[in-house]
Amino acid sequence: MKLFRFSGGRIGLTEGSRSYDITDALGVDTTAWPPVQMVQLIADFARRTAGITRHPKAREISMGDIRLEVPIEWPNKLLAYPVNYVKHGEEMKSSNRADRNGFFLKANSSLSGPNDPIVLPELPGREIHHECELGIVIGKKGKNISRTDALGFVFGYACLIDMVVRGTEERVMRKSYDTFCPFGPWITTADEVPDPSNLQARLWVNDELRQNANTRDLIVDIPEMIVTASRVATLYPGDIIATGTPEGVGPVQRGDRVRIAIDSVGEMTLDVR
């Protein structure tokens, strides 16, 4: 199943080849603030979506007729692991590693959707780089989660690009500009991803393949990321974890087009402005 937001905060899902607007069937108020409607749905997903496509207020839609938006706009936390591929550490000449340094936070307001542009700040002389990553969406509350149980806390997966200004300021600041976390185009539920430890992730800039790596090469793998994060902070439904980027990071410029694709998860293409 794929879960998505569209056209002003409406909620949809795809089962097989058919997609549905389930907003009214769920009784969702798209104008409510803060915009946590998707987080609330994830927290009680099985109960609230049981038989939902047969609800009289559910309607079938065509994906070609809607504008997809960021699937989760207001998570409790957006966590990210730095230098989680050996070759990326080598290319950056970095002594940091995810297994030594743990995770950091990005501002939730950096999240943007599959049809939003990446907007570069006015920073003359500074390079702004793309980083191709897998996004993990947490499905239930957990603290001190065991490795054995970790994947059971995953709701689903999405494509994620961790944009960053290179420099000496704090990492969180350089990665938290608005639109610096494209996420989507939807959440693919965990049951549709046969092996998250063997996903090929690719990123192109203007049709040039820049990044091409597999999650089997992660230094800290997906279960261990969940274990590590939950030892520090309680994880909540809708929390997003970014896995870290492989080698091949590089600069983007205004006018570029960036495409990310992850096997079994999805793909999206974004304009750089």
Residues 138 and 57 in one domain: no
Tally the domains of the chain. Answer: 2
The whole-angstrom separation of Cα 146 and Cα 16 is 33
Residues 45 and 86 in one domain: no
DSSP state of 131: -
In a domain, 105, yes or no: yes
Residues 31 and 166 in one domain: no
pLDDT of residue 106: 97
Q: How many residues does the chain have?
A: 273
Task: Output helix, strand, coil percentages for the chain, rounded to the nearest 5.
Answer: 20, 35, 45
Residues 119 and 232 in one domain: yes
pLDDT band of 132, cuts 50, 70, 90: very high
The backbone torsions φ and ψ at residue 270, rounded to the nearest 5 degrees and listed phi first, read -130, 145
**Which pTM was predicted?**
0.96
The whole-angstrom separation of Cα 247 and Cα 190 is 26
Residue 160 in tokens: 């994620």
Is residue 89 predicted with pLDDT exceeding 60?
no
Chain segment 227-261, per-residue pLDDT in tens: 999 999 999 999 999 999 999 999 999 999 999 99
Chain segment 5-39, per-residue pLDDT in tens: 999 999 999 999 999 999 999 999 999 999 999 99
In a domain, 73, yes or no: no
**Which CATH number characterizes residue 99's domain?**
3.90.850.10
Residues 22 and 54 in one domain: yes
The backbone torsions φ and ψ at residue 6, rounded to the nearest 5 degrees and listed phi first, read -160, 155
Supply the range of the domain harboring residue 229.
78-271
Residues 214 and 267 in one domain: yes
Residues 83 and 55 in one domain: no
